[in-house]
Amino acid sequence: MPNPFSPFDELAAVLLAHTQNLSNDGSHDQSHLLRVWKNVCAIQAKEGGDLRILLAATLLHDCVAVEKNSPLRSRASTLAAEQARHILSNMDWSEQDCEAVGHAVQSHSFSANIQPVSLEARILQDADRLDAIGALGIARCFYTAGRMGSSLYEPKDPQAENRSLDDKRYALDHFPAKLLKLADGFQTKRGQEIARERHARMERFVEEMVGEL
């Protein structure tokens, strides 16, 4: 199997060492990093961008683990950006490149609500959000709900027609509360194209799930 990080194999090996044993969250493990990198490459092939910066930002974007229900959640990407700058500075990366990676890492997060300015930051944000929607997004949603102790849905009103959405308690609520809104916020043309396909998959899933209740 070809190395997915070629021609940056050595750099990837060094950076991946900083992501080991940080979290027991299977939705933010190294397989997530591989999927985000695959998305990055698909977008970069159409949009351009510095692949070396993108690789470092991809592999370090979750280098500080913060649980979904932590009060520090909104600061997770800022903490990861600080750590990423520190790691790369110790590897003798230039201040400019450290900052480029730091900005991409800090602005990738939905919770942080920071506008990505550089092309690389826009690509990383899109690539990470693509992993939150579609079939993989559905799987990650219910996996996370299980970890957080949430129910699948509210049995009396599963679509929240006569109540407020509460996605901390009900996994199905997370679709209208967040996941079905993500496709409108993509930054790149290629990201938008892939997002539309994955959004449609989620809509079909919700319709079919509700139809079985």
Output the tens digit of pLDDT for each of the chain's 213 residues. 568 888 889 999 999 888 865 667 766 788 999 999 999 999 999 999 999 999 999 999 988 876 666 555 667 888 889 999 999 999 999 999 999 999 999 998 877 778 899 999 999 999 999 999 999 999 999 999 999 999 999 999 999 999 999 999 999 999 999 999 999 999 999 999 999 999 999 999 999 999 999
* Cβ–Cβ under 8 Å, residues 167 and 174: yes
Q: Which has the closest alpha carbon to 50: 96, 92, 16?
A: 96
Distance CA 38, CA 23 (A): 21
**pLDDT per position as a tens digit, 50-65:** 999 999 999 999 888 7
Which among 7, 205, 93, 88 has a CA at the least distance from the CA of 105? 88
Structure-token pair, residue 196: 């539309």
Q: Which of 178, 179, 97, 165 is nearest to 136 (CA)?
A: 179
End-to-end CA distance of the chain: 42
Q: How far apart are the C-alpha atoms of 26 and 127, rounded to whole Å?
A: 18
- 79-102: string of b/e by CB count within 10 Å (b at 16+)? bbbbbbbebbeeeebeeebbebbb
Q: Return the SS3 of 38.
A: helix
DSSP string, 113-171: T----SHHHHHHHHHHHHTTSHHHHHHHHHHHHHHHT-BS--SS-TT-SSS---TTTBT
pTM of the model: 0.91
Encode pLDDT of 62-97 as tens digits: 888 766 665 556 678 888 899 999 999 999 999 999
Rounded CA-CA distance 86/64 in Å is 12
Spatial separation of the C-alpha atoms in residues 23 and 32, rounded to whole Å: 12
Cα–Cα distance, 191 to 213 (Å, whole number): 33
